[in-house]
Amino acid sequence: MKKLALGAFLVLLLSIGFGVYYLLSNLDSIVKAAIESYGSEATQTSVRVEKVQLELTDGSGAISGLTVGNPQGFAAAQAFSLGEIATQIDLKSLSEDVTVIEHIIIRVPEVFFELNEAGNNNLETLNKNISSGASAKSGSSSSKSSGAEPKLIIRKLLFEGGIINAKVVPLNKDYDLKLPKIEMTNLGGEKGATPGEIADQVLKELTAKALAEVKRKGLDQYKEKLEGEVNQRLDTEKEKLGEKLGGQLKGVLDY
C-alpha cells in the first residue's frame, strides 16, 4: 500500500512538472492567443500578432507585427500596425489579482486613416466599436462576481516615431502625416482595469491625436463637403418623393 501511495505521489509530481514545463515553454503562444482574442473582441475587427517573446527571468517582453483590422465599410485592410512593442512586467504582480506592467513602448506605429464615400472615417468607427463593446460587457457583468476578467495597471505607455497614412477615398488622394508622440501614464488607475477598458482608453487617445493631425492638415474639410453632399441628396430625394405623392393625391381628388 505504501509503495502504491508513493507511486501515485510520484505520478502526481511528474504531472505537475510536465504541466508547468508546458505552460512556461508555451507562454509566448498563450500570450499571443490572448492578445488576438481580447483585441478582436474589443475592436470587433481582426487583431493579429506575428510574434511574442517573453523573458521570465526579468519580466521583459517584445511583441512584433501587431495589426488591427479595419471595421466594415472601409477599403484598407488595417486601421493600425503597431510595429515593435517592448514591455516590462512587474514579476511580483503575477501572483496578485492585478498584473502591473511597468511600461509599454511602441516604436514606429502606423495609423491608416480612411474617409469613405459616406463621409465616415475608420478611426471614429473603430472607437465606437470599442466603446459599445466595453459598455455592453460592463452592463452584462454587473451581476457577476468581480475578478472574472484579468485586470491590468500600465504605469507608462509610449507611442513614438509614428506615421499616419491618410486616404480620402472620394477624391482618390493619399497623404503621409506624422503622428505626434503620445505618452500615457497610470492606465487602469489604482485598482486596475480589464484589457477591453484599457484598449478603449488607449484607442480614444490615439484616435484623437491622429484626427487632430488630420484636421490640422485641412483634410476634415472633405468630410464636411461629403456630409453636405449626402444631406443635399437626401433633401432632393425627399422633394421628389413629396412631388410624387402630391401628384398621386391630386389625381385621387380630381377623380
Instruction: Name residue 51's beta-bridge partners.
Output: 64
Query: d(Cα 117, Cα 227) in Å, to the nearest integer?
Result: 9
The sheet that has 67-69: what strands, in order across it? 47-48, 67-69, 78-81, 110-115, 163-168, 173-178
- What is the phi/psi pair of residue 186, to 5°? 55, 45
Average pLDDT value for residue range 29-41: 84
Split at pLDDT 50, 70, 90, the class of 142 is very low
- Length of the chain in terms of residues written: 255
SS3 state at 76: coil
Cβ neighbors of 51 (< 8 A, separation 6 or more) are 28, 32, 62, 63, 64, 65
Beta bridge mates, 166: 113, 175
Percent of the chain residues topping a pLDDT of 90: 25
pLDDT at residue 165 greater than cutoff 90: yes
- The predicted-structure confidence for 204-248, as pLDDT tens digits, reads as follows 888 788 878 877 776 666 666 666 666 666 656 656 555 554 454
pLDDT tier at 83, thresholds 50, 70, 90: confident
Instruction: Compute the distance between CA of residue 75 and CA of residue 77 in angstroms, rounded to an integer.
Output: 7
Query: Which grid cell is 58?
Result: 526579468
Question: What is the grid cell recorded at 47?
Answer: 487583431
